[in-house]
A and B are shown apart, each in its own frame.
Chain A
């Protein structure tokens, strides 16, 4: 019992720590690609603590303050459903399909909070966020179904187990894995899919009125978000991992490639982003699905 509670406390902390290191590396990678020296490596910690310790915080209403809290609670919930090496806490209580919906709780919380600001930038940001979600959801669903059919189970722990000994989905279903990468990348909202927060158009979109500790909580939520998306990708396509070290290395590898992509792209228009997702990723994912069906 005690050990369960300890694990239950440790898992979110672990996810947070991994997300935090990713953000650290992100700033540094961006700087190096742009031939800058870049901020100190622990800059995100300074930023986060500074935000949390702001003396003054404003709120536009209860929902405004609850938004980041719901978002963070939803993210923590989702963390428990993703198998970590050696720890499958709640994978028996809900499967991959449940996870897809649990991951929406975070976005819902953020959308509610942002909506309460009465700021058009925030509303446009949310409108774009949901539209983009609708966009990448179609290929995402198709590849998830192809993975499910491949392993005849919707239980994530079983899917990970079935990929043991190097039988990664990446090798057996390469097309799905490629689409999975694109979709995960879109879900992270990096260039060219950073339409939601586009600072020059909608002034960081949903975050426009958030400052102080609220923004700090949203930053923490973002770290969780990075962890969830990439860990899910690693579990689905890179065979999970046998210990935490390899898990981290795999996740970092995926993240590193994504950050390099982030540097070279410009920004899509929102309808073009949706059209993009509904065109090539969808077609490729369908081909992969048909391969699984026929096999």
Chain B
């Protein structure tokens, strides 16, 4: 029993190593080991689900204990991590077949399992050192995963790792500051120390930690790595990155603000706006800006995966916005949205991956009409976009509803407006996605496309069904979330299996009624519809074109620049780009660096020789003086 957390943590890592070795035997051995070990992780997770472990010490470093712990929130995130990883690995088996080089594949599966293990470690961590260690493992292994995606992914991965490292430095400084103060980095000790520390110290550490999490969660203005990395990564990796990895940033924020620092403490040391501590208020604004701007950008994309990547930036904005409200309803909404986003964004990336698998392109204007060829993938993707757009009765709606209600309660109207606008904008880009991929004209070259193999269907459909289950029964997730939030000192919100009774928020919600009436209405209308004369199927070329006859070689479809006219409206906003600011600084650094580098690395052998002489002299002097240079 005592070893259970260590076992849970070790399983993916052991699995990763065994996978690599298994790959030397045969590729099926490797695939089997990978699936089995990720399945085992899910199994262990399910076995201990909702049991609370307090402070399992698994080692010590610098005199600080390394601790693993769990609480209901942990289990929520563990559930996301292990479940999505398993689905991703199952999906990879067929999808990565196109990769010729078996050695590359061996390391691919190993890295997948390592990322999973690292994320399990982050969530289980009970102290900042463990947290940071696994955080770094996650960054590096996910970097290797990203660069599997072909030539362009190299640059994307490079950008990702540079920004991650900057974030990690910020975190590291904060952790070092805390260590200097407390000499123990277990969460409870840190929380205790912070409650007695000076306000400026608290603000510095919290801000530095947040920077690290913001990079990973891709909150604007630190999001620039995400669209590149998530769209260039191999298709099974994208759901892992978008669905799960960026949630680690949100989890980190949750731990910092509600685990290490409590809302009451935050309120005491800094001024409040709309009864939110100002730091959280600023974070809310950043999140809201992410929502709106990323939505605008997603609308203008031509690349299916890039569209989804920008949409991730926007949706993680909701998560952070909810978490930063500081009220029970808002934080619960943020956590629930983290789960929901993992489900539907995983689903969307996998479904788009399935299309890429069959057609080999993710350029939306080259695709179209696939609904006739891939009806199952279409249905799953349809559920995904409905959930993403936040239309009842699917899951995205409930969590967004909670966040809206929380903002209304706090009267933070401007943030609320931005959140609303972002979600209406989501309609635009999700429709663009489904229209360009599945509706419209089927190009002649995809006449023979089939639906994807069963091993790729299963993960897609598990996620698709989850959107319905969590949409109609939000109580399933709220059980865990509310229980966990009680531990962090929130007043529990009232909920039931089907939604929220009156008194929770300013309105009430019962999703099952919505779903039931919708289904009844649908069936009734459908019956009336088929009572009338029959319909006859016509080909896509038998189409109104002012009498013109259409032929297959003619592209009679509107899919490029779908929202061109809208682009004209938001042109002034699109022309602003934080990336250009970064590039400006990068260039400045380059010039600066070049100038001084050339002074040192002159390329002249004599200079280098003299350096060696100087260094050796100093070293010798140091030894001679007994290690006492000054």
Contacts and interface: CB of A to CB of B under 8 A. Distances in A.
A and B touching (Cβ–Cβ under 8 A): yes
Contacts of A102: 391-392, 514
Contacts of A141: 416-417, 420-421, 424
B533 A115 contact: no
A154 to B, nearest CB: 4
B558 interface: yes
7 contacts: A56-B533, A57-B532, A80-B517, A102-B392, A111-B431, A145-B416, A209-B544
Contacts of B534: 57
A59 B530 CA distance: 13
Given A70-B522, A126-B435, A149-B411, A118 B369 contact: yes
A147 to B, nearest CB: 11
B558 A124 contact: yes
A73 B522 contact: yes
A279 B398 CA distance: 31
B535 interface: yes
A118 B391 contact: no
Q: Which 8 pairs between the two chains have the least Cβ-Cβ distance?
A: A95-B507, A115-B439, A154-B507, A93-B513, A123-B558, A120-B558, A118-B441, A73-B522
Contacts of A21: none
B565 interface: yes
B538 interface: yes
A270 interface: yes
Given A90-B513, A123-B559, A271-B568, A56 B536 contact: yes
A19 interface: no
Interface of B: 368-369, 371-372, 375, 382, 386, 389-392, 397, 401, 404-405, 408, 411, 413, 416-417, 420-421, 424-425, 427-428, 431, 434-435, 439-442, 499, 502, 505-511, 513-514, 517-518, 521-522, 524-526, 529, 532-538, 540, 542-546, 556-559, 562-563, 565-566, 568-569
B558 A289 contact: no
A104 B391 contact: yes
Contacts of A212: 533, 535
A148 B544 CA distance: 46
Chain B CB within 10 A, most for which of A56, A120, A278: A120
Given A53-B532, A59-B537, A108 B391 contact: yes
Interface residues of A, number: 81
B543 A119 contact: yes
Interface string A120-160: 11011011101101100110011001001100111100000
A28 interface: no
A203 B543 CA distance: 13
Interface stretch (A61-69, A173-181, A238-246): A61-69
B431 A95 contact: no
A92 B508 contact: yes
A98 B397 CA distance: 8
A142 B418 CA distance: 10
Interface of A: 12, 52-63, 65, 68-70, 72-74, 76-77, 80, 90, 92-98, 101-102, 104-105, 108, 111-112, 115-121, 123-124, 126-128, 130-131, 133-134, 137-138, 141-142, 145, 148-149, 152-155, 203, 208-209, 212-214, 216-217, 269-271, 274-275, 278, 289, 293
B427 A142 contact: no
Contact of A93 (B369, B372, B417, B509): B509
A111 B405 CA distance: 29
Contacts of B372: 61
Contact of A120 (B428, B431, B511, B556): B556
Contacts of B558: 120, 123-124, 127
A131 B431 CA distance: 11
Nearest to A101: B391
A105 to B, nearest CB: 6
B540 A118 contact: yes
Nearest to B559: A123
Given A131-B563, A142-B417, A98 B369 contact: no
A93 B518 contact: no
Nearest to B427: A130
A141 B421 CA distance: 8
Contacts of B569: 271, 274-275, 278
B365 to A, nearest CB: 12
Given A60-B540, A61-B372, A97-B401, A134 B506 contact: no
A149 B413 contact: yes
A101 B420 CA distance: 10
Contacts of A57: 532-536
Contact of B565 (A61, A92, A271): A271
A217 B522 CA distance: 13
A245 B509 CA distance: 30
A98 B543 contact: no
B517 A101 contact: no
Given A112-B439, A293-B411, A72 B525 contact: yes
A72 B522 CA distance: 8
Contact of A60 (B513, B517, B538): B538
Contact of A128 (B417, B533, B538, B565): B565
A98 B533 contact: no
Given A108-B389, A130-B427, A270-B566, 10 more contacts: A76-B521, A94-B510, A95-B508, A95-B509, A102-B514, A115-B431, A121-B544, A127-B563, A145-B408, A270-B565
Contacts of A149: 408, 411, 413
Contacts of B420: 137, 141
Nearest to A72: B525
A275 B420 CA distance: 18
Given A76-B521, A145-B413, A92 B369 contact: no
B424 A133 contact: yes
B533 A54 contact: yes
Contacts of B371: 61-63, 116
B381 to A, nearest CB: 11
Given A58-B536, A121-B544, A271 B389 contact: no
A90 B517 contact: yes
B506 A93 contact: no
A148 B506 contact: yes
B409 to A, nearest CB: 10
B391 A115 contact: no
Interface centre among A52, A59, A96, A213, by most B CB within 10 Å?
Answer: A213
A86 to B, nearest CB: 19
B424 A137 contact: yes
A69 to B, nearest CB: 5
B413 A289 contact: yes
Contacts of A70: 522
A119 B508 contact: no
A76 B523 CA distance: 12
Contacts of B439: 63, 112, 115-116, 118
Contacts of A133: 424, 427
Nearest to B296: A134
Given A134-B428, A141-B421, A105 B391 contact: yes
Contacts of A142: 417
Given A60-B540, A104-B427, A131-B428, A98 B514 contact: yes
Contacts of B428: 130-131, 134
Nearest to B501: A92
